[in-house]
Structure 1
Amino acid sequence: MTSALDATDSAPAHAELARRTVNALVRIAHTDDWAKGMSIHYYLMLALHAGRGAYVDRAPLLWIDKWRQRWMAAREEGDQAAVAAEKRYLHEQVLAALGNDPGVQGELWSRLPGWEQQGRRTLTASDVRKALGLDEEFRAWTEALEAAGPRFDPLPVPDIPEGDELIALMEELGIPREDHADIAAAVDALTDVDSPWLWLLERTLWLIRSRMGSSLSVPVGPFMSSHDADGWWFYVVAFLAAAPKVREFHRSTEVPEEISAASLGVLGEKIALHRTGAGYGALVQHDFVMGVFCGRIYRLEQLDCVAWNEEVDVYVPHTAHPLTTVPDQAWADRVHAFLRRLPREYGRGVQWKEGAFTIRVDSWLLDPALNDYLPEDHELRRFLAGLGSSRRRPDRHIAQDQCGLTGGDREAIQYAFGRYVGDLGDALSLIAETDVQHAVLAHLRAGQHWTRPAAGHSITAY
């Protein structure tokens, strides 16, 4: 005798729909979501009756309740064979309904996304770590996502374009073409409805959207260097999904198109920077890029400006060649005027702080040793002159890492050579061609290290 399950080969669309429907229902069968509000099995019966009206016979409702009772009992007793048998039974019933009435398929497809998201809500951070093989290093991040996620509001669907549209989006964001195929494959894997990655992706996307323009940070996990391509590109996929909303936010706050494009292009720059040094693409500064996509970091006049409540930290990217910006008081006033257009903490009329607001440059370029290597008329010395009369703060983080480099060393190498290096030996093996490259290496070869002092301009709060 042929069962409904035997028909899956001849009806692949029905089989896929049935599989997803059963998986979603089984995942929420043991939770309050099953009976919350308009019960899930009521919607299932609507689907099985092809949605022919609001009235549904009570007999089918009793049938699905009895199925749930049997499944729950088997689960509580730990009878895995009985649990599997009940799941197969539900699968047969759904397949039979799909085969008996074509109208059921459309009704189930319309209900399925909501059921699947309800099912993912039942997952815990522990479930996700176990399913993905994430160790204790990822506990704080996953638990922060679990705690911060919405309790009742629907999570945003990661709506990422496909095919040529996806390629066009990656081109716009400056992502190297060599990485397009791998990222496209990661998009498919991370957005699969059965993947635990989607639990992480939905919550990350919700946090980016809900905290856009505020100083509230989004929990950011470690770089997943030891995981497969899905984890490797996780944050790139999250940023691709967030990009349309970021552009809407920029338009709503009247951010000029050229500043919006330059700021979002930081994503591609960071991937390309890793590719230049390592020979393959990756995003290891995803915490910094998160600030860009949350509307807190902007590329203004070659410099990356990070907006906080009571100050702005400014960084000099490796792409600022030649560095023509002069960070004087007039420049600081322009940065301040730009950031005041932003909402919430940065909104118009907000009193940021009594007294003075600081716009501060943190960079290896402020290390006084640089003057020993460059001629007086060099562009970098002109940059320093803009901050010459400002208060300076020494670098408080000058310890060398386990690879023999300080944070200032790494920043100097990134700026001068446009690449990451692994350790001091890798840095000293680089070949210098420009004045700046010669300066960076000469300092390191002399047994010295670069520091990252800070200096800024005060802005009166108003």
Structure 2
Amino acid sequence: MGVEEVAAALGDDPALVEWLGELQRAGEPGDELVLPSAETALTALLRLGAPAQDAAEIVAGLSELQRNPALAWLVRRCAQRTVADMGGFRPGGSWPTLPDGWDRYFYVYVFLAVLPSVRAYHERRGIPDDISWATLAALGHAVESHRQRLGTGGIDAPFWIDLHFRGGIYLLGRLGFNRGDLGFLAPAVQAAGLPYQESAPALGVHAAPTGPLDPAACDASFDLAREFFARHFPEETYRLARCGSWILDPQLAEYLPADSNIIRFQRRFQLTPETRDGDADMLSRIFGAAPDTDLATLPCRTTLQRAVIDHLQAGRHWKIGFGWLEL
């Protein structure tokens, strides 16, 4: 099996052919990049938080995948691309949707193949088991989110899960932190009188979908992050953190009380004028809904849910806001 045969199996779509070239350039997969047995896969999936129904379907698909040379070729080369950049924290290439009829759990199989490698990387870095498994459980959350949103098995945002499986992000209590740099927020930081360039190391901050943004829990996460990265990545010095999220949309202050967890989380950051369209993100994060969902069908049980719907029904739009803070 080679690129030409796989391209033909994919329908010779130009975008997918370009992706195949990207995978080929990552190099020949090592012997360690193999799919697990059904028993090993099931144990791993349940530990990673995949719903039981999805875990069973994924395991059932292993034998079909192993009988399909094109799928097997793709899985191993996608895994090789991730492993080749183990420890990296920049976007890891394209993650296209495969044609109808291809396994909807395809990228789950990729990450199962990568799992032993990222676990070994965590061990070399001295990262505790509980943090390692909690971080990698982003895969289970992504599978669960896909079923909640679309009612079928699959995986949400494989590019984001790839960051976890390359050792670029870690869940530290309530918040996740990814290694990175200041990037386009540098002018805002410089305007505040701090001499940091775009390349200055900065931790990305992410509110994991695990419950309320309790201020004490967030404080504990920031404290843990300072200690964690100093201990496990001593070659990198992080003095700044940055965040880009629907949670930082200043418009939320029109609807939520000043002492709400979300507004208190906003106040941790120096917000910048930079924003991006956030309607789709807001619907996905708050309701698990697709962008074209009829607003009248969404629940209005909480103040936040009512705010999101009222804002959109008034013809207004939500934004992804950005901010930074000193650690």
2:135 is aligned, of 263, 270, 277, to 263
Q: Does 1:397 align with 2:276?
A: yes
Give the aligned length.
308
TM-score, length of structure 2 as denominator length = 0.84
More strand by share: 2
Greater RCO structure (CA 8 Å; 6+ sep): 2
The DSSP-based 3-state class of the residue aligned with 1:421 is: coil
8 Å CA contact 1:326, 1:382 repeated in 2: no
1:439 is aligned, of 304, 307, 325, to 307
2:264 alignment partner AA: R
State the partner residue of 1:304: 176
1:440 Cα deviation (Å)?
1.2
8 Å CA contact 1:262, 1:299 repeated in 2: yes
1:420 is aligned, of 281, 289, 312, to 289
State the partner residue of 1:222: 96
| 1:27-426 aligned within 5 A | 120=1, 123-124=2-3, 126-150=4-28, 154-163=30-39, 165-192=40-67, 195-215=69-89, 217-224=91-98, 226-230=99-103, 232-309=104-181, 310-317=201-208, 319-325=209-215, 332=222, 334-342=224-232, 347-350=233-236, 357-387=239-269, 390=270, 392-398=271-277, 408-417=278-287, 419-423=288-292, 425-426=293-294
2:87 alignment partner AA: G
1:253 Cα deviation (Å)?
1.3
Long gaps (5+) in structure 2? 182-200
TM-score, length of structure 1 as denominator length = 0.61
1:382 Cα deviation (Å)?
2.0
8 Å CA contact 1:326, 1:386 repeated in 2: no
| Distance change (3 Å), C-alpha of 1:160 and 1:427 | farther
8 Å CA contact 2:279, 2:319 repeated in 1: yes
The DSSP-based 3-state class of the residue aligned with 1:432 is: coil
Using the alignment, how far apart are the partners of 1:326 and 1:363 within structure 2?
Answer: 20
8 Å CA contact 1:273, 1:420 repeated in 2: no
1:397 alignment partner AA: R
Q: Does 1:430 align with 2:308?
A: no
| Distance change (3 Å), C-alpha of 1:371 and 1:217 | closer
Long gaps (5+) in structure 1? 1-119, 399-407
Using the alignment, how far apart are the partners of 1:361 and 1:202 within structure 2?
Answer: 33
Q: How large is the RMSD of aligned CA atoms in angstroms? A: 2.5
Using the alignment, how far apart are the partners of 2:80 and 2:172 within structure 1?
Answer: 27
The DSSP-based 3-state class of the residue aligned with 1:420 is: coil
Using the alignment, how far apart are the partners of 1:376 and 1:216 within structure 2?
Answer: 35
Using the alignment, how far apart are the partners of 1:369 and 1:323 within structure 2?
Answer: 18
State the partner residue of 1:4: none
Cα offsets for 1:133-188 (capped at 9, x unmatched)? 351221221110111214xx84534141223x322211111111222233123322
